[in-house]
Structure 1
Amino acid sequence: MDEATAADRSLADETYSSLLEEILSAQLSGGAVIQERRLALRLGVSRSPMRDALGRLEGQGLLVRNAKGVLTVKVITLADYLNSIAVRLMVEPSAAALACNMISSEVLAALREMLEKIESDPDPLPAFVWAFDDALHNGIATASGNRFLADIIGQMRRYTTIFERQRKLAQRKPGLSDHQAILDALTARDAEAARNAMTEHLEHIRRNVLSTY
């Protein structure tokens, strides 16, 4: 790969990451029309990396075509959300159990430090709360040692994250006791406890969302 091609690839990756974060954080909300030229100008990129990034997001189902063929941000419905949680319930407890033997003490210490900051802060920044949630769940998925599990968890978490953030369903300090139980089980290297703690956490999330409807 020559330098020009590598630079184009890097710029496309950066553009993709920027747009993905805007979708996950609800800056680009469900149903929003994607205006390629305007987005390219705002992000300061040419249309080539923008088209590459949009193609990837469309391929992942986060962008869809409406009846007129216009590219829009996918609206995550309650059914989408519940189906995503159902898939997570099938795979994420297993990932937590597998991670007990793989996740490092350094990662666990960093996660515990983040959780303690959230717990001690009367009004933690939502961005920091979401950063912890991402670090915990993505860290467990990666530490499972199973790339396929990690890919599925990552994809399903995108849908649940978009739904929660677009509808502002997350509490100021969501799932503190659940997250503590997961970290305790991982620290103890207790696979069954980690499996059960993750299952209980996801069930709590599902019930909390249903209670708002």
Structure 2
Amino acid sequence: MIRVGLTGGIASGKSAVGELLRQHGALVIDSDQLARDVVAPGSAGLAAVIERFGAGILLPDGGLDRAALGRLVFSDDAARAELNAIIHPRVRAAATAIEAQVSDPYAIVVHMIPLLVETGQQDSFDALVVVDVDEDTQRARLMARNDLTEDEAQARIDAQVSRTDRLRVADFVIRNDAGLEELAERAHAVWHELLKRRGQQGDGCGC
């Protein structure tokens, strides 16, 4: 099995790359989705979040108001750290459980983790793929996607490690500064390299 960490700054295009790798045959474990799952209505994770941040972060239907919670934690480093302490262990346990079910010894398992470097997991994988964009593009995409002000978008970018630190630990970098066709070509090139690594690991294919 090849275990791959896939990360990148917020609004860099990780999900698009993850989907492209899934189409090539990877098992993609999406930590963003797991982070939603572990705070689903009725979950122990949501109960812990309510206990810390109060019922004001709930939607009328009882679900988590992620926008309201974001406004709280992205302006308060201590609050964000407390939220991460609730969410991250649950997400890691869920990801571990999914990976444990993989029976194919030659599977390529991609863990898509937004805060992979921030949480010190860069040495936990056989390969680390970073999706990269310049900060101006990142900020513009984030403002459009999440309906944020420039200051709000910048605060979310600043809450993550720097682009330089992220690139420093990358085995492969996929630039997402053009169209979908170019992104698909770049993801395919990385997939080919992952297949080569899998071949070197023991199946002799590398094709």
- Give TM-score, length-normalised by structure 1: 0.27
- Give TM-score, length-normalised by structure 2: 0.27
The structure richer in strand per residue is 2
The structure richer in helix per residue is 1
